[in-house]
Structure 1
Amino acid sequence: MSKIGIIGAMQIEIDLILDQMDVFEEFLFAGFPFYTGTLHGKSIVLTRCGVGKVNSAACTQIMVDRFQVDCIINTGIAGSLGKDISVCDMVISSDVTHHDVRKAQMKNLFPFQESFLANQNLIELAKKACESSDLKLTYHCGRIISGECFVSESHLKENLIQNYSPACVEMEGSSVGHVSFINQVPFVILRCISDNADEEASISYENFEKLAASQSAFIVNEMVRMM
């Protein structure tokens, strides 16, 4: 049986999935909680990695090494960087990259990738889950960028748009994709939009954080059900 790894940064991003799981065992490695069990009859490893790229990279590597997962789905929330991408829309990663690492460094140093491509089968499954869910969510497929900061300034937002042509920005997805790539594990990053990555971002984030996190987790739940 295939084993599905699911990663969320914060507890609210995994609560819905954890509530639906039949949990068999709980583990704690390097401070990260890992829950093993089943969801819709599928073998699942669920974890909370904490905020930021270093945390998510460490957690992803532990998941690969300790649990030998066959694919990884990263669920969470993000700030919109697309004019047609609104709060509570879903973004499915086409690829992911670090916006706080120079492109030349990405290209010329190991693992010699300017970005990391998400698995096409997982992308299509995520699209199908969005289309078939009762939530009737609007979804977009595009580049997700990550860095060690919460983007809440218009000048930074415009710079990121100009340099990367991304759909959204957050703080974990690129490192999950990076670690998945070097371990040859298929992955996809899912984000529900909580804010517009501008001066109103903090207020919007507080208002929509829980809803956005729950909607992203719901789509992951649908994906597992459809596998």
Structure 2
Amino acid sequence: MKGVVRRVARLGAALLIGLALAGCASAPPAGAVRLDSTPRLAVVSAFAPELALLRTRLQQPASYSVNGVDFVTGTLEGKPVVLFLSGVSMTNAAMNTQLVLDRFAVSGIVFSGIAGGVNPALHIGDVTVPAQWGQYLEVLMARETAPGQYSPRPSRDAVFLPNFGMMYPGTVHVRSAAGGAERKFWFEVDPTMLATARNIASVELAVCDSARKCLDTRPKLVIGGNGVSGPAFVDNAAFREYTFNTFQANVLDMETAAVGMVAYANGVPYIAFRSLSDLAGGGQGENEMRTFMNIAADNAAKVLLAFLAAWK
């Protein structure tokens, strides 16, 4: 009998230790264990310069790390948030957006970062908040049937858009929390978030950076329209023109539509703030990203902060 009591005591002690470890952010047990129970907006950028300004404004920071990804909780403009870097590329964005949804109580996703300008009416430094995002480089590489002529393979359910040479973009197959499977091209941002963005008070956007690199035009905020994302950095004038004509896109990047697809699949609202760092090959001379990246990143972050201040 005493042996049984001792074994029960040891089991109880082991259970208490296990529970204590489960509450320890630095050493969570295997599996998708929530690291924080507070409902938060996930604020995500692709790489460090895009998140720099937001990190300086974060109050009451607390850090966690999962699979090599650093998450920092706290408040921005009085709103509970969790900040993290997705990494550049569609795969990184999808994978780490799902990771933050699994490990934190995410009430919405907000992306802040830079982008390539596609709409010729926009300028470097402008901040865009598209109403929807599409994966424009989910393509079929078509057979060339004659010099310069291509024939896409027939598909039962894919819908192909106008091609760029052998590349025929189409819809993606997605499953969601709502159930069932469907094909989609556009992943709409949350209408309430978009309405809040439309009501943002005037934001003073930067014209120059700390190194006195300055823009030729004063930046503006553009709400609505389309954005597209794909796994390629674009620096080609002809492809830029094709992207604008085919998708009526204001901007292109390498992450947002992947975030939008994950948000849609999980039934979580999202929105993205993207500032033009370059013209995706449409400018004179070499690509402008390295020159104006910091101005663009900070301008996107400033609009995001104004959005958070207005968000109910």
Relative to structure 1, the CA distance from residue 184 to residue 202 in structure 2 (aligned partners, 3 Å threshold; closer, same or farther) is farther
Residues 178-197 of structure 1: CA deviation (Å, up to 9, x unaligned): 10010010001110011111
C-alpha distance in 1 between matches for 2:204 and 2:301: 14
C-alpha distance in 2 between matches for 1:87 and 1:108: 30
Residues 45-103 of structure 1: CA deviation (Å, up to 9, x unaligned): 11011111101111110111111211110111111111211111111021001111146
1:132 aligned residue (189, 202, 223): 202
The secondary structure found in structure 1 opposite 2:274 is strand
Write out aligned runs for 1:1-227 (5 A).
Answer: 2-102=39-139, 104=159, 107=171, 109-111=173-175, 112-129=183-200, 131-135=201-205, 137-140=219-222, 141-198=224-281, 200=283, 203-227=287-311
- Which runs of 5 or more structure 2 residues have no equivalent in the other structure? 1-37, 140-157, 161-169, 176-182, 206-217
Compare 156-165 and 168-177 and name the one that shifted more: 156-165
Offset of residue 3 of structure 1: 1.4
Relative to structure 1, the CA distance from residue 56 to residue 108 in structure 2 (aligned partners, 3 Å threshold; closer, same or farther) is closer
Length-normalised TM-score, structure 2: 0.68
Compare 59-68 and 101-110 and name the one that shifted more: 101-110
State the identity %: 24
Which amino acid is the alignment partner of residue 117 of structure 1?
A: E
The secondary structure found in structure 2 opposite 1:203 is coil
C-alpha distance in 1 between matches for 2:54 and 2:42: 12
Give yes or no for contact 1:127–1:139 (8 Å, CA) kept in 2: no
Relative to structure 1, the CA distance from residue 183 to residue 45 in structure 2 (aligned partners, 3 Å threshold; closer, same or farther) is same
Structure holding more helix per residue = 1
Moved over 3 A (4+): 105-108, 199-203
The secondary structure found in structure 1 opposite 2:287 is helix
Offset of residue 15 of structure 1: 1.1
C-alpha distance in 2 between matches for 1:190 and 1:97: 15
The secondary structure found in structure 2 opposite 1:82 is coil
Larger radius of gyration: 2
Give yes or no for contact 2:114–2:300 (8 Å, CA) kept in 1: yes
Which amino acid is the alignment partner of residue 174 of structure 2?
A: F
- Which runs of 5 or more structure 1 residues have no equivalent in the other structure? none
Relative to structure 1, the CA distance from residue 28 to residue 161 in structure 2 (aligned partners, 3 Å threshold; closer, same or farther) is same
Offset of residue 116 of structure 1: 0.3
What is the RMSD computed on CA atoms of the aligned residues? 2.0
The higher-RCO structure (CA 8 Å, 6+ apart) is 1
Compare 107-116 and 145-154 and name the one that shifted more: 107-116
Length-normalised TM-score, structure 1: 0.92
Offset of residue 202 of structure 1: 5.1
